[in-house]
Amino acid sequence: MYFPLPSIEKSMQVFIAGSTGVLGRRLVTRFVDRGHTVIGLTRDDDGDELVEARGGEPRRGDLFDEESVIQAAKGADIVIHAATAIPTDNPTPEKWAVNDRVRREGTQTLTTATAEVGADRYLQQSIVWVARQPDGTAFDEDSPLHPDPTAESAVDAEEIAREAGEHHGFIVSILRCGQFYAPDAFHTRAQGTALVRGDRPIIDDSDDALLSRIYVDDAASAFVATAEAGRSGLWHVVDDEPVSDAEFSTSFADRLDASAPERVSEEKARQEMGDGRVELLTTPIPTSNDTFRADIGWEPEYPTYEEGLDHVIETWESDDFPV
Ligand SMILES: NC(=O)c1ccc[n+]([C@@H]2O[C@H](COP(=O)([O-])OP(=O)(O)OC[C@H]3O[C@@H](n4cnc5c(N)ncnc54)[C@H](OP(=O)(O)O)[C@@H]3O)[C@@H](O)[C@H]2O)c1
């Protein structure tokens, strides 16, 4: 069951960069189900098959090749940036640099394409932790920015999109999402596997570090609702209750019938998981969806991590994962 939306007034041609990703493939399905026409940017045969199977039209192109994207986006009414190169395993500075390029150059390319093909709407994916507070208190869309080094490119991408919209006169909607989780998301699968193996500790003294998350299906419904609303603005797309990694992981392990995760010191966690991961799990990121709900009328189908994790486990049971 999807979040209920009113009937569409007009069918749009939707161009999605990142159409083969965890978020993007849900976007293809949902926009098609709503009666829109979808063009998915792809880079290989597997991508073509995936987009076609979901009812979209694949067109080849690469965010680092502007002309290919302009050609692929021909006919679009709305352009969506849902691409990423966030490193999965073994993140290195070189891998983060590629992600920075997808954000900065990718936004430049896609906003240029929006103007060139005459689309009147542009939708940008961003992350809520660009604005988290140094003291860990709750923040909202108006809070000052405090990006860590890996999030600076997301701030720049927001700015590039806003300036392009002002310059060319198209609508720019920016959705800052909480931390994603989903049965098919790399980090959720890695966490599930590690919990079953007893290899995913909780960091001592991190119980107050509340993180705002979003189940990826709800992120997808937020994109559809925003695209159809056609409003310029910036919103936080998160579920109703921020939760600590300690609570999320303990509950996740319990649902997987795994033993409760071991608690380790921050020092030990840094040696085992690396500094970046420890920072992410111990830095509070509490924000709310109040403004987004009020402005767009969206509501999450999975309002807390409990409903979301139930659905993750249900999906995995039918896939025999993790083994
Ligand atoms: N809030 C969060 O916790 C969180 C976490 C991760 C990502 N995100 C954000 O969510 C969005 C999508 O993430 P995801 O999980 O769906 O990622 P994903 O599953 O890794 O998918 C990445 C997508 O980006 C495409 N892509 C990468 N580099 C490209 C390039 N140079 N040109 C064209 N396409 C390119 C990939 O295409 P190929 O299939 O051709 O490789 C794929 O479609 C991104 O905007 C990202 O910043 C948020």
Residue 219 has pLDDT above 70, yes or no: yes
Would residue 297 count as lying in a domain? yes
- For tokens 């979209």, name the residue: 56
State the distance from the centre of ligand 1 to the C-alpha of 18, rounded, in angstroms: 5
Would residue 322 count as lying in a domain? no
Count of domains for the chain = 1
Name every residue whose Cβ is closer than 8 Å to that of residue 187 and which is 6 or more positions away in sequence.
Answer: 88, 180, 181
Would residue 196 count as lying in a domain? no
Is any atom of ligand 1 closer than 6 Å to the C-beta of 18? yes
What angle do the packed helices 45-53 and 22-33 form, to 10 degrees?
A: 40
State the distance from the centre of ligand 1 to the C-alpha of 80, rounded, in angstroms: 12
Q: How many CA atoms lie less than 13 Å away from 167 in the CB half-sphere? A: 12
- For tokens 């640099």, name the residue: 97
Nearest to 173, CA basis, from 219, 223, 124, 220: 124
pLDDT digits (tens, 9 = 90+) for 10-59: 899 999 999 999 999 999 999 999 999 999 999 999 999 999 999 999 99
> 137 is written with which tokens?
């208190």
Is any atom of ligand 1 closer than 6 Å to the C-beta of 23? yes
Would residue 189 count as lying in a domain? no
State residue 91's pLDDT score.
Answer: 80
Residue 121 has pLDDT above 90, yes or no: yes
pLDDT digits (tens, 9 = 90+) for 81-99: 999 998 887 788 899 999 9
H-run or E-run covering 26 = helix 22-33
Nearest to 104, CA basis, from 166, 160, 51, 144: 160
pTM of the predicted model as reported, rounded to 2 decimal places: 0.95
pLDDT digits (tens, 9 = 90+) for 221-232: 999 999 999 999
Residue 323 has pLDDT above 70, yes or no: no
Would residue 138 count as lying in a domain? yes
3-state secondary structure of 106: helix
Residue-range definition of the domain harbouring residue 102: 13-179+216-238+287-301
> 190 is written with which tokens?
């890695």
Would residue 111 count as lying in a domain? yes
Would residue 247 count as lying in a domain? no
Pocket residue to mutate for ligand 1, from 22, 42, 84, 153, most atoms within 8 A of Cβ: 84
Higher pLDDT, 277 or 216: 216
pLDDT digits (tens, 9 = 90+) for 289-320: 999 999 999 999 999 999 999 999 999 998 88
Would residue 255 count as lying in a domain? no
State the distance from the centre of ligand 1 to the C-alpha of 22, rounded, in angstroms: 7
The torsion angle over the Cα atoms of residues 147, 152, 153 and 158, rounded to 10 degrees, is: 60
Note the Cα 108 to chain centre separation in Å: 19
Instruction: Decide: 252 and 310 in contact? Cβ < 8 Å.
Output: no
The pair phi, psi for residue 68, each rounded to 5°, is -65, -35
Q: Tally helices (H) and strands (E) across the chain.
A: 12, 13
Q: What is the CATH number of the domain that holds 293?
A: 3.40.50.720
- Mean pLDDT value across the chain: 95
H-run or E-run covering 127 = strand 121-127
